[in-house]
Amino acid sequence: MTFMKNKKNTAMFLMGCFVFTTLMTGQTIKTIEKELQTDSDTKIFIQTKSADVFIEESKSETIELIAELSVKTNNAKRAEKMFKRISVEMGKDENGNVVISVSEKTKEKPFFGLNLQNSSVKLMVGIPSDREVDISVASSDLSISEVKGVYSIKSASGDSKIEQFYGSLKVSTASGDIRLLELEGPMDVRTSSGDVFGENLNGSLVFKTVSGDVIISNGQFSRVEGDSVSGDLKFSLDSLPTDSVILQAMSGDIDLMFNTVPNAQIKMTSLSGDLEMNLPEGKNMQHSKNQITTTFGQGLNLVEAKTHSGDIFVGTK
């Protein structure tokens, strides 16, 4: 395994087998390694309910998998029975797609469930560059680092952390938080109650949230478009997007800050919230109780912020 060679506890792994380790803390760990050679056009599916998933780039055309299964017992026979309930699979389906899954082997009342407090599963996957990857998790946490490709992620309650990603990204979660760091490319982010945090993002961003906040700093976008019901939207942009910035919220507040006065048409509208603009007076300014419109420079781009009852602030850092 090359992609995890610097990770803790991976030096003991042997290809094609598993290793038992009993710790002084009363835990027994089983590690499994698998590899699969794939073509560049092969789509990859990763499916798990509660196994935490860690993805990095493989340095070859081979998908590399390390699964670490941990149970809270130092009894070898009991541990073995518990491990037998877990299936870690990597293979190809009838369409030639690669499917990686972690699940329980039986539908009977389980002796050991993956969601119980006395067990945990970590799934570490090395994926070749420029692949199409579909990830589906439930309560699992997800970490993706230093990869390039087309990724689609669906999560229920687990948190997602994605950093140093280059390519097309779609992330959808119910209550889990989403953290984005140093991304480049088109981004589509959707969440219900989870918060979205982003830093050093470059590309286009489309988002939708219900009650989760969206907080973005040091962004350099070609386009930003999104809406929220009750979540707050806070954007700090290094430069004005080449296309437009369109933010909408029902009761959430909107804060939008630029490094310098933007060369743009600005429109702020709120039915019952407060409006504040911390910028020099622009051209053709119109200011009423519910709306402010003005133009700076040549007004090349559109910046629009709209709320029903939330407050709006637009200014410089």
Task: Render pLDDT for 220-256 as a digit per residue (tens, 0 to 9).
Answer: 999 999 999 999 999 999 988 889 999 999 999 999 9
Same domain, 106 and 190: no
Secondary structure, 3-state, the chain: CCCCCCCCCCCCCCCCCEEEEECCCCCEEEEEEEEEECCCCCCEEEEECCCEEEEEECCCCEEEEEEEEEECCCCHHHHHHHHCCEEEEEEECCCCCEEEEEEECCCCCCCCCCCCCCEEEEEEEEECCCEEEEEEECCCCEEEEEEEEEEEEEECCCCEEEEEEEEEEEEEECCCCEEEEEEECCEEEEECCCCEEEEEEEEEEEEEECCCCEEEEEEEEEEEEEEECCCCEEEEECCCCCCEEEEEECCCCEEEEECCCCCEEEEEEECCCCEEEECCCCEEEEECCCEEEEECCCCCEEEEEEECCCCEEEEEC
Least confidently predicted of 3-12, 30-39, 189-198, 271-280: 3-12
Structure token pair of residue 57:
């780039």
Residue 84 reports pLDDT greater than 90: no
Position 86 in a domain: yes
Question: What pLDDT, on a 0 to 100 scale, did the predictor assign at position 234?
Answer: 97
Confidence of residue 106 (pLDDT cuts 50, 70, 90): low
Same domain, 167 and 280: yes
Question: Which position has the higher pLDDT, 84 or 189?
Answer: 189
Same domain, 294 and 212: yes
Task: Render pLDDT for 109-156 as a digit per residue (tens, 0 to 9).
Answer: 544 444 345 778 999 999 999 999 999 999 999 999 999 999 999 999
Average pLDDT for 206-212: 96
Same domain, 104 and 203: no
Give the pTM.
0.88
Question: What pLDDT, on a 0 to 100 scale, did the predictor assign at position 18?
Answer: 54
**Of the residues 129, 148, 170, the one at which a domain ends:** 129
**Of the residues 129, 146, 172, the one at which a domain ends:** 129
Same domain, 116 and 181: no
Average pLDDT for 169-197: 96
Position 22 in a domain: yes
Question: What pLDDT, on a 0 to 100 scale, did the predictor assign at position 74?
Answer: 80
Residue numbers of the domain that contains 111: 1-129
Position 173 in a domain: yes
- Domains: count for the chain: 2
Whether the CA torsion 131, 186, 145, 152 is positive or negative: it is negative
Same domain, 273 and 200: yes
Confidence of residue 281 (pLDDT cuts 50, 70, 90): confident
Same domain, 176 and 316: yes
Question: What pLDDT, on a 0 to 100 scale, did the predictor assign at position 17?
Answer: 47
Average pLDDT for 89-116: 75
Question: What pLDDT, on a 0 to 100 scale, did the predictor assign at position 212?
Answer: 95
Position 19 in a domain: yes
Average pLDDT for 1-6: 54
Same domain, 58 and 183: no
Question: What pLDDT, on a 0 to 100 scale, did the predictor assign at position 174?
Answer: 94
Confidence of residue 20 (pLDDT cuts 50, 70, 90): low
Same domain, 72 and 33: yes
Position 231 in a domain: yes
Same domain, 276 and 214: yes
Average pLDDT for 301-313: 96
Position 145 in a domain: no
Position 143 in a domain: no
**Of the residues 112, 129, 146, the one at which a domain ends:** 129
Position 154 in a domain: no
Same domain, 232 and 303: yes
Question: What pLDDT, on a 0 to 100 scale, did the predictor assign at position 216?
Answer: 97
Same domain, 87 and 193: no
Question: What pLDDT, on a 0 to 100 scale, did the predictor assign at position 113?
Answer: 41
Confidence of residue 77 (pLDDT cuts 50, 70, 90): confident
